[in-house]
């Protein structure tokens, strides 16, 4: 009996000790421990990451974010035809739906599963096989095929981006969008190239750039109204997507002639100054194409010259979305450095070839010192460039304390989402819950949302006011004042509240 009593006491003390240890652990520590327990169980890991708050997606191309199934619907509404041989949408008098017809209506795809599947495969990376076709070629070829489906459906696209972001537990998205159609490019051609950047700017401003800005703002009002209508924002049936904050980066097409690129860059600066919904701009199109490679230095000099007129404008630039063999070795040597040092980029998109730059270690240290974040697009880099696993520089950026955040790039074309970007990062690089949480916070800290941050300094967990997550509806007076005055702080607070709720589960 004495031995049984002793055993019971030992058992009780053990249970009590374990309970005290459990109580001593913070919700974040318990959540981190749970992640470690399911790290090698793909289903449970996926479920965990799907529910995890993820902050912001800072690298999203609007048309590339849309799934092919939506484009089929929109092309049908637009009464477009499709070329069966190329899968390109065309404006024409459509043929009938018989299988032997060359240009049937897109509507025919609803009754023709072969055509429907053909379009989804041609307009995305679904069923793409690395052994049969270049991922780079297939990926970028999709845009010219489904492009006409976007006509009159920008608001629908905004709604889809917001809805998917909410489903992915994101709080914020920066959307790259060439919002003027071709108006700025046409104006640049009309005015004509001038080597004197200051004079060229003056000519464009005098020649009608203000009208382009006004047109873009008016169209954005209409597109955002359509987004809210689709999501039922402001009604009892409001979609969770209504809670996701969207801002826009004007998207410059850097493969165009110099006078058109200049005009678009100028429009990017002008929009950011005129409309708070536009928080910066970026240059897009494949970096390895002839014009983007040949004119890279010119584009950086244009941004450098115009930035002096608009010092408050934010710039994020694609740089080193490249790999050895895609361009000659000298083409890999300077894009990130010049984007930062000349064009003043605060963020770099992709940065895959960073270790091929001149003095890469020095560049990494410079990026860390200047607090330049890299938008890491793991799925995109894999399918387009064939760069993944140990060949991807994500671990190197983290080693040298360069800020990083995961991004989807073109989730519709890639057939992915932010949850699977997190999954790929955890499974490939063994990232911890702390790593993922820092990335989510970094995405908002390095966003271009206006206003003060809740954090004392970047990548810090020290808040400028007391964030009492036990009472998220009742922030302290200093916090309340900050939240009322800063949109950035409000979105960050939204993320912190989401983390608090998420971590309660564990």
DSSP 158-219: HHHHHHHHHHTTEEEEEEEE-TTTTHHHHHHHHH---S-HHHHHHHHIIIIIHHHHHHHHHH
Q: Distance between the two ends of the chain, CA-based, in angstroms?
A: 39
Structure tokens at 487: 């949109």
Percentage of the chain with pLDDT > 90?
89
Residues of the chain with CATH 3.20.20.140: 56-61+151-461
For 132, other C-beta atoms within 10 Å of its C-beta total 7
Residues 193-221 have pLDDT tens digits of: 999 999 999 999 999 999 999 999 999 99
275-312: string of b/e by CB count within 10 Å (b at 16+)? beebbbbbbbbbbbeebbbebbeebbebbebbbeeeee
Structure tokens at 503: 């971590």
Q: 56-61+151-461 has which CATH code?
A: 3.20.20.140
Its pTM surpasses 0.85: yes
Q: Which helix (H) or strand (E) holds 441?
A: helix 433-445
Phi-psi region of 465 (alpha: psi -120 to 50; beta: other; left: phi over 0): beta
Q: Is-contact 451 463, C-beta < 8 A? A: no
pLDDT bin (cut points 50, 70, 90) of residue 74 is very high
pLDDT bin (cut points 50, 70, 90) of residue 171 is very high
> Looking at residue 380, what is its pLDDT?
97
pLDDT bin (cut points 50, 70, 90) of residue 313 is very high
Mean pLDDT of 292-314: 98
């Amino acid at each position: 009996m004495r031995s049984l009593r002793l055993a019971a006491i030992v058992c009780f003390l053990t249970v009590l000790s374990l309970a005290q240890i459990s109580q001593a652990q913070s919700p974040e520590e318990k959540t981190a421990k749970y992640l470690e327990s399911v790290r090698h169980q793909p289903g449970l890991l996926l479920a965990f990451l799907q529910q995890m708050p993820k902050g912001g997606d800072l690298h999203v191309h609007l048309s590339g974010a849309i799934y092919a199934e939506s484009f089929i619907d929109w092309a049908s509404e637009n009464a477009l035809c499709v070329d069966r041989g190329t899968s390109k949408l065309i404006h024409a008098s459509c043929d009938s739906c018989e299988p032997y017809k060359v240009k049937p209506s897109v509507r025919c795809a609803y009754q023709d599963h072969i055509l429907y599947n053909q379009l989804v495969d041609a307009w995305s990376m679904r069923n793409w096989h690395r052994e049969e076709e270049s991922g780079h070629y297939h990926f970028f070829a999709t845009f010219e095929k489904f492009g006409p489906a976007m006509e009159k459906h920008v608001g629908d696209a905004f709604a889809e981006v917001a809805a998917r972001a909410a489903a992915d537990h994101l709080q914020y998205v920066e959307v790259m969008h060439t919002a003027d159609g071709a108006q700025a490019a046409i104006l640049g051609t009309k005015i004509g190239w001038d080597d004197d950047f200051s004079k060229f700017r003056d000519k464009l401003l005098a020649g009608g750039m203000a009208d382009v800005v006004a047109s873009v703002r008016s169209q954005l009002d209409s597109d955002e109204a359509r987004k809210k209508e689709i999501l039922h924002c402001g009604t009892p049936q409001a979609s969770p997507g209504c809670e996701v904050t969207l801002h826009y980066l004007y998207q410059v097409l850097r493969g165009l002639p110099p006078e058109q690129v200049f005009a678009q860059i100028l429009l990017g600066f002008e929009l950011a100054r005129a409309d708070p919904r536009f928080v910066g701009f970026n240059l897009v199109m494949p970096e390895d194409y002839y014009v983007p490679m040949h004119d890279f230095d010119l584009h950086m000099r244009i941004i450098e010259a115009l930035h002096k007129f608009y010092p408050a404008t934010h710039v994020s630039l694609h740089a080193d979305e490249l790999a050895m063999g895609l361009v000659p070795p000298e083409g890999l040597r300077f894009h990130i450095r010049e984007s930062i040092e000349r064009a003043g980029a605060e963020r770099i998109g992709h940065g895959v070839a960073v270790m091929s730059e001149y003095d890469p270690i020095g560049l990494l240290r410079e990026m860390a010192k200047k607090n330049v974040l890299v938008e890491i697009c793991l799925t995109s880099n894999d399918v387009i460039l064939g760069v993944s696993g140990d060949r991807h520089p994500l671990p190197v950026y983290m080693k040298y304390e360069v800020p990083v955040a995961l991004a989807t790039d073109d989730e519709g074309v890639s057939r992915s989402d932010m949850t699977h970007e997190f999954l790929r990062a955890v499974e490939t690089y063994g990232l911890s819950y702390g790593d993922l949480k820092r990335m989510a916070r970094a995405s908002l800290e390095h966003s271009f949302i206006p206003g003060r941050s809740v954090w004392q300094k970047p990548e810090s967990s020290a808040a400028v006011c007391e964030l009492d997550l036990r009472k998220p509806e009742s922030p302290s007076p200093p916090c309340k004042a900050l939240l009322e005055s800063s949109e950035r702080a409000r979105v960050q607070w939204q993320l912190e509240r989401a983390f608090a709720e998420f971590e309660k589960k564990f």
